[in-house]
Structure 1
Amino acid sequence: MADDTPQPLPRTEDLLLPPTAPPRTRTRTRTPKPSGSLASDTWRELRARPLVGLCAGVVLLIVLMAAVPDPFIALLTHDSGRCELIDSRVGPSLDHPFGFDLQGCDYLAQVVRGSRPSLVIGLAVTVGALLLSVLLGLLAGFYGGWIDGLLSRVTDVFFGLPFILGATVVLVAFPSHGLGAMTLVLVALGWTTMTRVMRAQVIGLKDADYVHAARSTGAGPLRLMVRHVLPNAVTPVVVVAMLNIGNVISGEATLDFLGVGLQYPALSWGLQLNAAQSYFLDFPHLLLFPALFLSATVLSFILLGDAVRDAYDPKLR
């Protein structure tokens, strides 16, 4: 028997309410940060590395020391500017933190002034080799043919010649061993690696679509190389050049130490190491301080170049 009991009518406010829905969970979607230019990405990557700041600070300090040595000398030691043989090989003290050299000169002042030739040769050789490498690599990679073949054979010959041995043989034949001669010899022996990098970059870019588009508009070879290929190919070569600065400074000091580089009365870390080799057991400060400055400079340049290379190449991050 059906139940005829009347059911209560729904309330008006119940009719106005929407149907019950499950609670909505709010999820936050993280929008990826847009990538900027290659330069900005590289700079952001470098700033995130504390070691880069330390190495850059050491390099900046050495550059300032080489450019204006007198303020550093006045700040760090009591140098009278005179050399007294009675002070020869005297050890470090409060007034003279690095002691005295063989001639009785304040050793801290001599070490600070010795930074200039090493840094000048390192930077001059790197810039000269970079310019030569960019020119030769651009021509060989863009034109190919006999130019590329000739350059490849020449670079093979230079790669088979050890850097220090080749520089020693050439410098022995030079009548002068000044800054100019050292720079020319080291440039002549230090261009091969950067040239190969530049050549490889140009070969990979010369058939790019934008180069073909520029050629179709009537652009000549010179315009194509300078305006379209060179700006996109030179960055890896500059990175290699930064790595090369420390190697050149180390090579220059080695040649000075062997007696075929700069000659007395010039000042350089290599010459100071050469003078100290017979006395370092009895007077270790003569060897210790120029070796520390040389090692810190070379290591800072190499680590800074490594960091720039890693930041530039995303595959190495």
Structure 2
Amino acid sequence: MPDVTKTAVENADPMATTAADAAAVVDPKAEKARSLWGDAWSDLRRNPYFVVSAVLILLLLVIAAFPGLFTSASPTYGDLRNHYLSKPQYGHVFSPEWLGYDGQGRSVYARMIYGTRASIEVGVCVTILVTLLGGLVGMIAGYFGGIVDSILSRITDVFFAIPFLLGTMVVLNSFTDRTVWVVVGALAFLGWTQITRVMRGSVITIKQADYVHAAKALGANTSRILLRHILPNAVAPVIVVATIALGGYISAEATLSYLGLGLPSTVVSWGQDISGGAAQIRTAQYIMLYPSIMLSITVLAFIMLGDAVRNALDPKLR
């Protein structure tokens, strides 16, 4: 009696067998190819620098939003009679006397906590403004080219030639009432040029892509091409530069406050505390030390985050 199974296998269509095997191996619902952002997020999650910087920044944001969770002391109340230049009490962790008191009897720890809000607020707001302004100017200059590019590029060069801190000091010196928003505006007024250059170069490269030419051939208008095709593909280097620059803006605000040209005395600032501690550096170094450490950690966290994002978004560094 012939073997029915063997005969059926031998008489089977080899093409059908191959197709069946391929269908069994390839899942029609297989995961789609990841985009640049998907690959970047996958790399970032495995990058220890990104994890450490993200945790630090998240903690700083929580401190800035809810300083009362970390201290019950007032950063502006001073008791000269009992707390004039009192030494730190390191055994009383997170208490008002933990890091000592300054020359006005104010808690150094409380001022360090409340100073986070001003620095983060200034840094984030300036970064948003320079990214929007610089990105818009750079995108217009890079896409249209010609006379538009020449005019915008020369204007950018003029602002770029002005020393950043010196120009900001001149602008702030013209205001008698310097609020947080005045400082933000002064920093953004001269800080958009680098973003413009990066965006312009990125747009010039992207607009030569085939999908941009295809969109033009299909009759897409300029705004649709810029917003749907060019901007999503050109924004990656801008995000990297803006993230790294955020730490620089925080440092610039502290420098201006140290020189007395930044935030007003009614706003708690690390730069003002560092300036006040400089007068007592021989007898009470801790007044200047702890705000300086907090400022350094904040700037370092944003620089580390920017480096991690750059490595993840740059295919050459993979």
| Range into which the TM-score falls when normalised by the shorter chain | 0.7 to 0.9
Q: Distance in 1 between matches of 2:76 and 2:303?
A: 34
| 1:104 is the counterpart of 2:99 | no
Describe how 1:150-299 pairs up with structure 2 within 5 A. Answer: 150-299=151-300
The match for 2:304 is: 303
Q: CA-atom RMSD, angstroms?
A: 1.8
Say whether the 8 Å CA contact 1:100–1:107 is kept in structure 2.
yes
Deviations 1:197-241 (A, max 9, x none): 111111112232111211112111122111211111112111111
The match for 2:124 is: 123
Deviations 1:269-301 (A, max 9, x none): 001111111101100110111000000000111
Give 1:180 deviation, angstroms: 0.9
Describe how 1:18-57 pairs up with structure 2 within 5 A. Answer: 36-57=34-55
Give 1:35 deviation, angstroms: 6.2
The match for 2:69 is: 71
| Range with greater deviation from structure 2 (117-126 or 166-175) | 166-175
Give 1:107 deviation, angstroms: 1.5
The match for 1:135 is: 136
Q: Distance in 2 between matches of 1:248 and 1:59?
A: 15
Deviations 1:238-272 (A, max 9, x none): 11111111000001100111111112122100011
Task: Point out where structure 2 has 5 or more consecutive residues left out of the alignment.
Answer: 1-30
Q: Distance in 2 between matches of 1:80 and 1:253?
A: 17
The match for 1:16 is: none
Say whether the 8 Å CA contact 1:138–1:202 is kept in structure 2.
yes
Q: Distance in 1 between matches of 2:267 and 2:206?
A: 46
Partner SS for 1:73: coil
TM-score when normalising by structure 1: 0.85
Say whether the 8 Å CA contact 2:273–2:288 is kept in structure 1.
yes
Letter in 1 for 2:317: L
Deviations 1:150-195 (A, max 9, x none): 1111221222221111111111112221111111111111111111
Say whether the 8 Å CA contact 1:100–1:106 is kept in structure 2.
yes
| 1:91 is the counterpart of 2:63 | no
Say whether the 8 Å CA contact 2:75–2:110 is kept in structure 1.
no
Partner SS for 1:210: helix
Say whether the 8 Å CA contact 1:263–1:271 is kept in structure 2.
no
How many residues align? The count is 282
Give 1:148 deviation, angstroms: 0.8
Letter in 2 for 1:36: R
| Range with greater deviation from structure 2 (162-171 or 46-55) | 46-55
Q: Distance in 1 between matches of 2:76 and 2:223?
A: 55
| Range with greater deviation from structure 2 (210-219 or 185-194) | 210-219
Give 1:103 deviation, angstroms: 1.7
Q: Distance in 2 between matches of 1:113 and 1:60?
A: 16
Task: Point out where structure 1 has 5 or more consecutive residues left out of the alignment.
Answer: 1-32
| Range with greater deviation from structure 2 (144-153 or 187-196) | 144-153
Structure 2 CA distance for partners of 1:291 and 1:145, relative to 1, 3 Å: same
Mark the structure with the bigger radius of gyration: 1
Q: Distance in 2 between matches of 1:268 and 1:141?
A: 39
Letter in 2 for 1:316: L
Give 1:42 deviation, angstroms: 1.2
